[in-house]
Amino acid sequence: MIKTPDIYFLVKGESEGITELNVFDGCLLNAGIGNTNLIKMSSIIPPGCRRAKSLKIPEGSLLPVAYSFIYSDIPGDIIAAAIAVAVPVDEKLPGLIMEHSASKPLDEVKEIAYSMAVEGFKMRGFKLKEILVEGIEHKVKNKGGAFAAAALWYGEK
């Protein structure tokens, strides 16, 4: 049986590199999760999950994440990645994560992620307590990327 995480945290990173994969790896390192094994998940935060400002995750750990990543090889391109976390009023209900990235300024990308979180809660009929939005913008020098994620982890329940 897989244990349900009870902590979530938000990370972001940017990088330049020689290939798209190197850029992605650099973004993860910049975000502080580069030495973990990401498990891409869909966009639900378990009920009762609490936010941590940051966590030290043991190297090599399997880390569930919902993430947004964008890569560009157009010098001068402005790219951004954002993550929005919708938190319900009722702590017995799950939270929702929405991801967005685009060749647009960060403010526009964050606004879209925020709107998606609002719509997701409307679709579920949940009352919204708050929406947390995190993101990063990157101006491409040669080959660059931007990454934003919500990661789940395990506390001491």
Q: Which residues are catalytic?
A: 37, 42-43, 99
User: 56, 19, 58, 57: which is closest to 143 by C-alpha?
Assistant: 19
* Total H helices, total E strands in the chain: 2, 9
CA-to-CA dists, residue 120 to 61, 65, 131, 136, angstroms: 30, 18, 12, 22
Separation CA 43–CA 95 (nearest Å): 8
Distance CA 1, CA 41 (A): 17
